Amino acid sequence: QWRDNDRWDSRRWRSNSRYDWRAYRSHNRNVYRVGRYYSPYRDYRYRRLNIGFRLQSLFFGDRYRISDPWRYRLPEVYGPYRWVRYYDDVLLVDTYSGEIVDVIHDFFW
């Protein structure tokens, strides 16, 4: 998952069968049925975000953090990185800069 210079490499973990979240989700649907998402801002609406976009810190606070990535068959992350829920998507965010370094759209139901 990590490159030599400590940057995230999404291709590595996605090709590792340990992290086959799609197959796991098809057999464990209830794990991916999470409650309603509440944005940190009242009038904020969903926008499809991609790698490189920078988030404000409220979007990756503890309320949105995925504390047990393995539960969803996501790899463990270290240092400034954090898996967070963003509506039905999952984002990997560098908490120092707010930059999205990996994204899975339509992850949750």
Q: What is the CATH number of the domain that holds 99?
A: 3.10.450.160
d(CA 100, CA 102): 6
Residue written as tokens 């240092």?
79
Cα–Cα distance between 60 and 39 in angstroms, integer? 11
Q: Residues 109, 89: contact at Cβ < 8 Å?
A: no
pLDDT at 2: 47
**pLDDT given at position 32:** 93
Q: pLDDT digit string (tens) for 3-60? A: 544 555 666 787 788 888 989 999 999 999 999 999 999 999 999 999 999 999 999 9
pLDDT for position 7: 57
Whether 109 is in a domain gets the answer no
**What integer is the mean pLDDT of 73-79?**
91
Structural domain boundaries, residue 95: 10-104
**The predicted structure's pLDDT at residue 12:** 73
In a domain, 73, yes or no: yes
- Provide φ and ψ at 58, rounded to 5°: -60, -25
Token pair of 60 as six digits: 């990756």
Specify the residue for token string 């976009």. Answer: 53
Instruction: Tell me the backbone φ, ψ of residue 103, rounded to 5 degrees.
Output: -150, 140
The pTM for the full model equals 0.85
